[in-house]
Structure 1
Amino acid sequence: MKRLELSTRAASTVDAVPFAELAEHPRARGVVLTSDIAWDALKPYLARLDLIVLTFPIFRDGRGFTQARALREYGRFTGEIRAEGHVLPDQANHLRRCGVDGVMLGENADDAPWHRELRRFSTVYQRAIGDVTPP
């Protein structure tokens, strides 16, 4: 898999464990959060985490966007948020504006449509979460 950069935040190199196993791994620095788990379930662990991987089971499931925004806005998470699963290039700007730093694409995926979408809009009407800046 290859990572598409959505922000200037450095990519984390830590391994992510499933949320269900996080309590069993006190040294884990990364977690995989499925869309059925509320972001605030991570509150006890946020201070030690460097990476949160949000999974998108189908492209029309928007809970990952909500999780990302809530982690940045309410949880004040400053580490990397990475999206995996069924995301589409036309979701690139919204992912970035919600605080997602990168998207995992298939090894042979064409990233040109993603870059085209990231350049599509030069004006926004609302502030994005945090200091999200294009790479």
Structure 2
Amino acid sequence: MAEIIKHGAIHADDWEVLRLAEDDEAGKVEVAHGRWIVPLAVWQAQRDKLAARAEAGVLGVWLAGGDDPAQLADDLVRLQLIAVDFPKFADGRGYSIATLLRARLGYGGELRAIGNVLRDQFFFYIRCGFDVIQPQPGKYSAEQLQSALASLKDFSEPYQGAVDRAEPLFRRVSREVRA
């Protein structure tokens, strides 16, 4: 069973991420029983068939960097989990997607970073609104995950405003005015 960082702690996780093969058709892929996170294309093609599972909390949807999160606007109340895929180190579009889901679309469910999530970016995932970080299975040892968890506290006061703390530091701290 994979391990995730969720709300500042390490947890075992039983969710599976469905990845389509090149020749798979989104409307014809069978989603097995259990907890699955399906690509946006599968959700769109099979929404009527999968809606009850989403509402029951056993089906989530993942977005790729090129997907528009607004495509899920009408489904946000039924989706208890949305994941955003980070396919490689240099692709930061997932940060924008998370921020849009939280700040503009008001998504309040679980927001999960999946794919090539790297330890040195864990803090920034949280700043953008992710509450779950799901490293690829086998990427980090238990000790490395514990160290990564501890590193989330390296920055005591972020300067910039973000999803996790809207006000920048200069607005949160009052200073004496000198004449």
Alignment gaps of 5+ in structure 1: none
Given that 1:16 and 1:31 are in contact with CA atoms closer than 8 Å, whether structure 2 keeps it comes out as yes
Q: What is the Cα deviation at residue 130 of structure 1?
A: 4.8
The total of aligned residue pairs comes to: 130
Corresponding residue for 2:159? 125
**Is 1:4 aligned to residue 5 of structure 2?**
yes
Alignment of 1:1-135 (within 5 A): 1-7=2-8, 14-23=35-44, 24=46, 25-29=50-54, 30-105=60-135, 106-107=137-138, 109=140, 110-130=144-164
User: Structure 1 residues 77 and 7, CA, compared in 2 at 3 Å: closer, same or farther?
Assistant: farther
In the alignment, the residues of structure 1 paired with residue 84 and residue 73 of structure 2 have an alpha-carbon distance, to the nearest angstrom, of 15
CA RMSD, Structure 1 to Structure 2 (Å): 2.5
Q: What is the Cα deviation at residue 123 of structure 1?
A: 1.3
In the alignment, the residues of structure 1 paired with residue 7 and residue 123 of structure 2 have an alpha-carbon distance, to the nearest angstrom, of 8
Alignment gaps of 5+ in structure 2: 16-34, 55-59, 167-179
CA deviations on 1:27-86 (whole Å, 9 max, x unpaired) are: 242101111101111112111100001100001111111011110001100000111111
Structure 1's consecutive aligned runs of 4 or more residues displaced over 6 angstroms after TM superposition are: none
In the alignment, the residues of structure 2 paired with residue 15 and residue 57 of structure 1 have an alpha-carbon distance, to the nearest angstrom, of 19
When normalised by structure 1's length, the TM-score is 0.83
Larger radius of gyration: 2
In the alignment, the residues of structure 2 paired with residue 71 and residue 12 of structure 1 have an alpha-carbon distance, to the nearest angstrom, of 24
User: Structure 1 residues 108 and 92, CA, compared in 2 at 3 Å: closer, same or farther?
Assistant: closer
